[in-house]
Structure 1
Amino acid sequence: MTPDPLAIRFQPTIAPADGRVLLIENSRSYAALLAAELREQLGIGVVIAASLREAQQRLAEDDDYFLALTGLVLPDAGAELITDTLARAGIPMVVATGVYDEAIRSSMADLPIIDYVLKEAPGTIDYLVWLVRRLHRNRTITAMVVDHSLSARARIAAQLKLYGFRVLQADDAASGLLALEEDPAIRLVILDQDLEAEGDAGGIGFIRQARRTHPRGTLSIIGTSSSADPSSVARFLKNGANDFLEKPFSREEFFCRISQNIDNLELIGTLQDLATKDYLTGLPNRRHFLDRAERMLREDKGAVAMAMLDVDHFKHVNDTHGHEAGDEALRAVAATIAAHARPNDVAARFGGEEFCLLAPGLSAEEAETGFERLRQAIAALRIPLRNHTLQLTISIGVCHRGDGDLHALVTEADRLLYLAKARGRDRVVCESQEAVA
């Protein structure tokens, strides 16, 4: 059976990890307030326990907890028993307490406690919501520790796992670079500056090579060193490290630096999305499409198929059912186009109800067959509205060329789209042109 040239092969965005928070708190009002904020802002399930016995019952009923938020005073238990119980259950903890006690904190240094938070401090609720969000999102991120010391590597890896990351380890720069090349999910590297160098493969060499393919906005590299030489720290940062930690560092400092760097990566990603994606459909916008298409045509000299797609009678949808229904229709069409796009195809919302898709490596016949299947898939959509199910059709103009002229491709595909509209809509009109020598 010949595979569909526009089959579903794209990689979906990783969804947030599942899991719930166990909130152990003897103050019902405080617990209710914090649980409401977590549910409303993060959409995360929160289970409240007012005593240690109740918490143990919840743990026995369900083990789907990625975090425990706990106080240190309960009707049936004190600090040591509470934290020991959660540690034995293997659940990372955030302690929210009304009293700062350095002796208690020191006695719990070896327990899986991520942070200590004073409940009465200003902004505590907001901080806890941020903290839970960060730990929840970490579960979709891979971190790597590159350090020649087995003990140091294991200690840092254990901390990262406590924070929810999937963790890889490498004992030299070459192994770390290979892992970075093979695993695109790595977003964070904790790198020992004092790696024993072989040629240009030490700590500085690792950064220089990594930055050739992984800019600061997609990979955060945090250097570590036991050296007190400030000039070496500056060299590390100038060569591309995002941050630096001097050994030994505290658990709190480590967590803060890690979280700030990951937050920065996500902020950069959000800004990039705002600049390159259509706000309504999530597809690339027109400007980003043109930039990517130009690069593709420069790199790929073969024939490409350029399609312009327009939703039929879209104004009637808005006038009859309202603009909210129109937005739902555009999202449904965009999702169908994205699902039919191959990894190397470039799809976008061109403007209004018009979309485009540039597909390299297809013959004229494959392009016609593939876009006809896309037309049929959109015609088969049933979009639920409040009191109605909406059906749509789409007209498609497909140009097939090999001259690498993006303007000519867009212009011709747009002309063919006009013909599809003129011939009755809900159809694909194609026209091939042999590659210009």
Structure 2
Amino acid sequence: MQPSYGEKVLLVDDSQAITALLRARCEAVAGVTTESAGSLAEVMASIESDPDRFFLAVVDLNLPDAPDGEVVDYILAHDIPVVVLTGHYDDAMRERILAKNVVDYLLKTSVHEIEHAAALVRRIRRNRDIKTLVVDDSRAFRQYIGGLLELQHLQVLYAENGREALRVMDHEPTIELVVTDYNMPEMDGLALIGALRQRRGRDELAIIGVSDTATPTLPARLLKNGANDFITKPFLVEEFYCRVTLNLELIEQMRAIREAAVRDYLTGLYNRRHLFEAGEVLYANATRQRQPLAAVMLDIDHFKKVNDTYGHLAGDRVLKQVARVLGKGLRRADLIGRYGGEEFCILLPGIEPSALGDKLEGLRATVAATRIGHEGQDLSVTISLGATLEPSDSLQTMIDRADACLYQAKKDGRNRVIIDTASPCR
């Protein structure tokens, strides 16, 4: 079972300048809140009050009342992972730091290293939601690799050969990283990588091959068969961490690119192109299975007045807040997208006709009750909604009918819902 961590980062350094810079970069890069301490005594007071609020500590190795790294041992004793900052480096220091089972250690000799520390905080926070799989027929080595990954807050699953690994993947399809040995009974790493690649692409699953073989062609064979990376035993812990981080970052970047292609940049909702692509699938399924499908068009009343009175920044905030409210009020199966300007489209598969009116009235009322902050003022807006359950002859026809009902709702005074239940709205 994975441990439960809080949401804050504890920054420990007796330099106020470094602490201020770390705080600013952690908040900007990682989006986390921080608390600071400049001595072991302050650390003890902070942790003893509530240790569970910290998921990580970034710690100076030498403090006025703890010159030999005692603060690291104290924090680790409270099950808070530690990233060590040190002002100097040598091999003896490296061995001593890594022996403490810290997340990593960084030099604080430049702004670049502070930026690196903030990026590492972001990585560790994101790792808590990532599942990994370690595959090796040696129990000792499985546990060693798993321990390294758990220090990085990753969720770890295990398999002792390729066949077992495939069974684990069937039960845990959200695994994003596999670290697999090459030499294994039943199904070796090469065969496992090939089988995994038939199921998931390089942009969805990162695979790191591991081997102690001296065969010079093996890395190329593993990479050509679908591995993202390769590392030879024995390896430096720092190199292993770097490879894990680089591969996870690459998966995230490719996911972000895919998301950017289907999302509206401002609201985060699906864009019009994806709305129609996914909507056609919903429409085809509903038609084939003779299930209800509602098409809804809505827009923000008097939106031009918001822009003219308060400026386009206020308008953007209104759009984002309305999108957030609408998204929270829908089911996972529902599809919502920004249709254009201040207009949105929602598709509700499987909704019963008797429930549609209450659902849309609830969205209307929630938006009307929402206060949107802007430059010390609370703004409020309303929405008008038009909908149809008539399947018509195409998705576009359904949307056109819903849009006609939206036009009628605005003509009748706005801030209301009109549903086309019998004949098209006029």
TM-score normalised according to structure 2 size:
0.85
1:33 aligns with 2:29: no
* 1:256 partner amino acid: C
* 1:307 partner amino acid: V
Secondary structure of the residue aligned to 1:79 is: coil
* 1:239 partner amino acid: N
CA deviation after TM superposition for structure 1 residue 108, in Å: 4.2
CA deviation after TM superposition for structure 1 residue 252, in Å: 0.2
Residue number among 281, 287, 297 corresponding to 1:308 in the alignment: 297
Residue number among 214, 217, 223 corresponding to 1:237 in the alignment: 223
Residue pairs, 1:125-144, within 5 angstroms: 125-144=114-133
1:156 aligns with 2:142: no
Structure 1 stretch displaced more, 98-107 or 30-39: 30-39
1:116 aligns with 2:105: yes
* 2:8 partner amino acid: R
C-alpha separation in 2, matches of 1:223 and 1:267: 21
C-alpha separation in 1, matches of 2:415 and 2:40: 64
C-alpha separation in 2, matches of 1:27 and 1:311: 51
Residues 262 and 273 in structure 2, CA contact (< 8 A), matched pair in contact too? yes
Secondary structure of the residue aligned to 2:103 is: strand
Structure 1 stretch displaced more, 101-110 or 145-154: 101-110
Residue pairs, 1:29-428, within 5 angstroms: 29-63=17-51, 64-79=53-68, 81-121=70-110, 123-183=112-172, 185-197=174-186, 202-300=188-286, 301=288, 302=290, 303-386=292-375, 388-402=377-391, 405-428=394-417
Query: Would the alpha carbon gap of residues 48 and 246 (structure 1) be closer, same or farther in structure 2, given more than 3 Å must change?
Result: same
Query: Would the alpha carbon gap of residues 375 and 184 (structure 1) be closer, same or farther in structure 2, given more than 3 Å must change?
Result: farther
Structure 1 stretch displaced more, 392-401 or 287-296: 392-401
Residues 169 and 175 in structure 2, CA contact (< 8 A), matched pair in contact too? yes
Residues 29 and 122 in structure 2, CA contact (< 8 A), matched pair in contact too? no
Q: How large is the Cα RMSD of the aligned pairs? A: 3.0
Identity between Structure 1 and Structure 2 (%): 39
CA deviation after TM superposition for structure 1 residue 154, in Å: 0.7
Count of paired positions: 415
Segments of structure 2 that go 5 or more residues without pairing to the other structure are none
CA deviation after TM superposition for structure 1 residue 263, in Å: 1.3
C-alpha separation in 2, matches of 1:384 and 1:122: 35
Query: Would the alpha carbon gap of residues 184 and 109 (structure 1) be closer, same or farther in structure 2, given more than 3 Å must change?
Result: same
Segments of structure 1 that go 5 or more residues without pairing to the other structure are 1-16
Please give the per-residue CA displacement for 1:82-127, whole angstroms capped at 9, x wherever unaligned. Answer: 5444443433333322322112322444321233323225622222
CA deviation after TM superposition for structure 1 residue 216, in Å: 2.5
C-alpha separation in 2, matches of 1:375 and 1:38: 38
CA deviation after TM superposition for structure 1 residue 283, in Å: 0.8
Please give the per-residue CA displacement for 1:300-336, whole angstroms capped at 9, x wherever unaligned. Answer: 5244221111222222232233333322322232122
* 1:398 partner amino acid: A
TM-score normalised according to structure 1 size:
0.83
Please give the per-residue CA displacement for 1:156-176, whole angstroms capped at 9, x wherever unaligned. Answer: 111111111122223344443
CA deviation after TM superposition for structure 1 residue 415, in Å: 2.5
C-alpha separation in 2, matches of 1:387 and 1:57: 37
Residues 297 and 404 in structure 1, CA contact (< 8 A), matched pair in contact too? no
CA deviation after TM superposition for structure 1 residue 400, in Å: 2.4
C-alpha separation in 1, matches of 2:305 and 2:159: 60
Q: Larger relative CO (CA 8 A, sep 6+): 1 or 2?
A: 1
Residues 395 and 420 in structure 1, CA contact (< 8 A), matched pair in contact too? yes
Secondary structure of the residue aligned to 2:209 is: strand
Query: Would the alpha carbon gap of residues 308 and 206 (structure 1) be closer, same or farther in structure 2, given more than 3 Å must change?
Result: farther
* 2:182 partner amino acid: Q
